[in-house]
Amino acid sequence: MTEERPLRLTPVQQGMLFEYVRSPAEGRYVAQMKWRLDGVVDAHALRHAWQDVVRTHEVFRTGFSWLDVDAPSQTVVPDATCEWIEQDWRSLSAGDCVARLDTYLGLDRRRGFDLSAPP
């Protein structure tokens, strides 16, 4: 792994950061995805696989600094642990699952991101 060091933002990154900081609730440049996994899912293996993705790809370990600095920058940290939320909805009806997922996704969008803290 590399050590932490601030890196300049590209002009596109600067624009995206500006737009997000200016209006985080608008959700520009934020994509939310969902998948349906059928059959037996090994949640432990899935969690570890996602952590391997974070460990392997710097983009998932990057935070941004823009307050009290001369110029915005990004920093890739050597190690980061991704947030993992696991919920068991097997006892719910299909309609209740859809409603609960819609509620969860809405709350997640409103929560937004702390761009200074990777991942």
What's the pLDDT at 29? 81
Q: Is 15 helix (H, G, I), strand (E, B) or coil?
A: helix
Q: Considering the entire predicted model, what is its pTM? A: 0.75
CATH code, 19: 3.30.559.10
In a domain, 21, yes or no: yes
Tell me if 65 is assigned to some domain. Answer: yes
- Owning domain of residue 29: 6-111
- List, for residues 4-19, the tens digit of each pLDDT value: 778 999 999 999 999 9
Q: What is the pLDDT of residues 56-79, one digit of tens each?
A: 999 999 999 999 999 999 999 999
DSSP track, 49-112: HHHHHHHH-GGGGEEEE-TTSSS-EEEE-S-----------TTS-HHHHHHHHHHHHHHHHHH-
Q: Residue 64: left if φ>0, alpha if ψ -120 to 50, beta else—which one?
A: beta
Residue 117 falls inside a structural domain: no
CA–CA separation, 2 and 76 (whole Å): 8
User: How many domains does the chain contain in total?
Assistant: 1
